[in-house]
Structure 1
Amino acid sequence: MNDLISILLLGLVEGITEFLPVSSTGHLILAGALLGYDPAYWALFNIVIQLGAILAVVVLYWRTFWAVLQGLLRWDPPSVRFVRNLIVAFLPAAVLGLALHKQIEALLESPITVAVALIVGGVAILGIERWVREGAIKGIADVPLPKVLGIGFIQCLAMIPGVSRSGATILGALSLGVERRTAAEFSFFLAIPTMLGASVLELVKNRHELATGQGVGMTGIAIGFVVAFVVAVFVVRWFVGIVSRHGFSPFAWYRIVAGGAALVWLLAR
């Protein structure tokens, strides 16, 4: 029963935070530290349930994906550029993720790193919101290739837990002249190959644990997957509307307050 409550709680945290610029991985790490979880026991679960949140993007934007697929069959330039841009933006994270896998795993065991990154990221968001003007580039297919590659490298900052993959890509895109809605949707779509690759890598690496029923187990992962998916569907819809009207400042202040509170608690315990 305790595991079930934890599974539901972590699935809820993942669904809420995956696409917000607040770091889902960071929140899962802090939740584990706050509740006294064994990080090794929940590591695979925390990675794989992110696919539930990613599935929410596929469901919500299925018309976009279907139109792109039809365009690819006709080799329409906009559809080709759309896919090309996602692949190019994904490559830096794929290469660096494989090269720095052990170092990244070590950071995942550091809640203090998460707390500091939340604060620093919040300050960075406020700075970008204040100084970066609204971009003119609309549509993922219309983002120039050099800017796409820049967004891909900026996404790699999210290998530091607490930085936020969505926050890094969205704000990186804004800094490179992409308008808000396109920046947010680019981040949503880029999450699909990025998180799929990370989850497959973890599943292969932990195949023995899955086969022997160690850790949370497939049933627990499936429940967390479904919870993360359902919650993320609502969050993505809400997030696009909030960003279009109010920008990213509310999330910046949340990061600073949450990171500061977490840092005080971690240092005092």
Structure 2
Amino acid sequence: MEFFYILILAMVQGIAELLPVSSSAHVIVAEKLMGLDPTSPQMTMVLVMLHTGTMFAVIAYYWKSWRETYFASSQQFRANGANLIIATIATGIVGFGLQTIIKHFFAENADKFEIEHLFGNAKLMAAALASAGVLIIISSRMKEKGNDDVNTRSALWIGAVQGLCLPFRGFSRSGATISTGLALGVNRRRAEQFSFALAVVLTPAVIVKEAVRLYKVESASAVNDTAVLLHALFPGLLGMVLSFLTGLIALRWLSRWLEQGRWHFFGAYCLFASLVVLWVG
């Protein structure tokens, strides 16, 4: 893969991943415009590596605030850790359950069906983007209720909504989870912190899943497995560094707009982007 393609994808990923506008949808559209196949194992692996770069950007950006809240005391650590576990379990139940339903009703339990096959569906992506946009706009109208933190109930709901995002590229994970927190009365800053803490928990599992998928697909061919895997990983590693740098810029943008009451602008953009996806698709 050419360096120029990686540069473009990394910039798109780094900016869009940490804004509530669905990085996956933007990256997939960019891939299509460049003549790349977003459903191929190599491209999904590159996409996951780009996610890794933004994950490290999240850790670097939020580490100070997490240290002051999540790691302030052993009691705080246990309480926040329990909420993250609850939300992650809810994500797994809803996400894998939804994938099973999709496979059963829409793919007739085909053995070779993988959820990644949906990633190139422009109509599905546009619908997911529009749904995320509506959710963001509605949540932006909710009045903030003081300094309410994430509790067990809100963690459960946020995790469940995150699970809905897994099969559908375009349904922004950060947009959906932050909006759910706001709708439940969670403080804007706390909702933001919890959403990206969940991202750090979820991303390693996604990386492992895609690495295994890539290895299985390439193992079925007559090509040397190790060489192919390394060949696929190198563009991803380069993109990971670039997405880390652009991700830091995007986080500053998101935090500023969220705290200044401009959250609804992201929702309006998602509605506009859904029309663009339909046109490109």
Q: TM-score range by the shorter chain?
A: 0.7 to 0.9
Once the two structures are TM-superposed, the CA of residue 117 in structure 1 deviates from its matched residue by 1.7
Cα 1:135–1:81 shift into 2, 3 Å: same
Cα deviation, residue 129, structure 1: 2.1
Quick one: which amino acid aligns to residue 83 of structure 1? G
| % identical equivalent positions | 31
Contact 1:94 1:197 in 2 (8 A): no
Tell me, in whole angstroms, the C-alpha distance in 1 between the residues paired with 2:238 and 2:204.
18
C-alpha contact (below 8 Å) 2:86/2:155 kept by paired residues: yes
1:186 Cα deviation from its structure 2 partner? 1.1
Q: Deviations over 1:224-265 (max 9, x none)?
A: 000111111121122101111133111111111121122133
SS in structure 2 of the partner of residue 108 of structure 1: helix
| Paired AA for residue 45 in structure 1 | V
Contact 1:135–1:174, Cα closer than 8 Å, also in 2:
no
Ranges in structure 1 where 5+ consecutive residues have no aligned partner: none
Aligned to 1:125: 136
Q: Which digits, 9 at most, give the CA deviation of each residue in 1:136-179, with x for residues without a partner?
A: 344xxx42212111110011121211010001100011111101
Show the counterpart of 2:170.
Answer: 162
Residues 1:155 and 1:51: Cα distance change in structure 2 (over 3 Å): same
Q: How does 1:1-269 map to 2 (within 5 A)?
A: 3-39=2-38, 40=40, 41-66=42-67, 76-98=74-96, 100=99, 104-130=115-141, 132-138=142-148, 142-159=149-166, 160-207=168-215, 209=218, 211-213=226-228, 217-266=232-281
Q: What code does the residue aligned with 2:151 have?
A: P
TM-score (ref. length: structure 2): 0.83
| Alpha-carbon distance in 2 for matches of 1:215, 1:256 | 38
The alpha carbon displacement at 1:116 in A equals 2.1
1:67 to 1:257, Cα distance in 2 relative to 1, 3 A: closer
Cα offsets for 1:162-221 (capped at 9, x unmatched): 010001100011111101111111111110011121111111232354623259622211
- What secondary structure sits across from 1:32 in the alignment? helix
Stretches of structure 2 lacking an aligned partner (at least 5 in a row): 101-112, 219-224
How many residue pairs align between the two structures? 258
* Equivalent pair of 1:137/1:177 in contact (CA under 8 Å): no
Distance 1:71 1:128, change over 3 A: closer
Distance 1:136 1:253, change over 3 A: same
Partner of 2:106: none
Query: Given the two structures, how large is their TM-score scaled by the length of structure 1?
Result: 0.87
RMSD, aligned CA: 2.3
Deviation at 1:68, TM superposition (A): 7.0
- Equivalent pair of 1:157/1:168 in contact (CA under 8 Å): no
Q: What SS does the corresponding residue of 1:217 show, helix, strand or coil?
A: helix
Q: Shift of the alpha carbon at 1:47?
A: 1.6
Q: Equivalents in 1 of 2:94, 2:215: separation in Å? A: 23
Distance, in Å, in 2 between the alignment partners of 1:172 and 1:188 is 13
Work out the CA distance in 1 between the residues paired with 2:139 and 2:35. Answer: 35
Distance 1:114 1:258, change over 3 A: same
Match for 2:120: what amino acid?
E
**Structure 1 position 64, deviation (Å):** 4.3
Does the CA-based 8 Å contact 2:125-2:274 persist in structure 1?
A: yes
Partner SS state of residue 246, structure 1: coil
Q: Is the 8 Å Cα contact of residues 45 and 216 (structure 1) preserved in structure 2? A: no
Contact 2:66/2:193 (CA < 8 Å) preserved in 1?
no
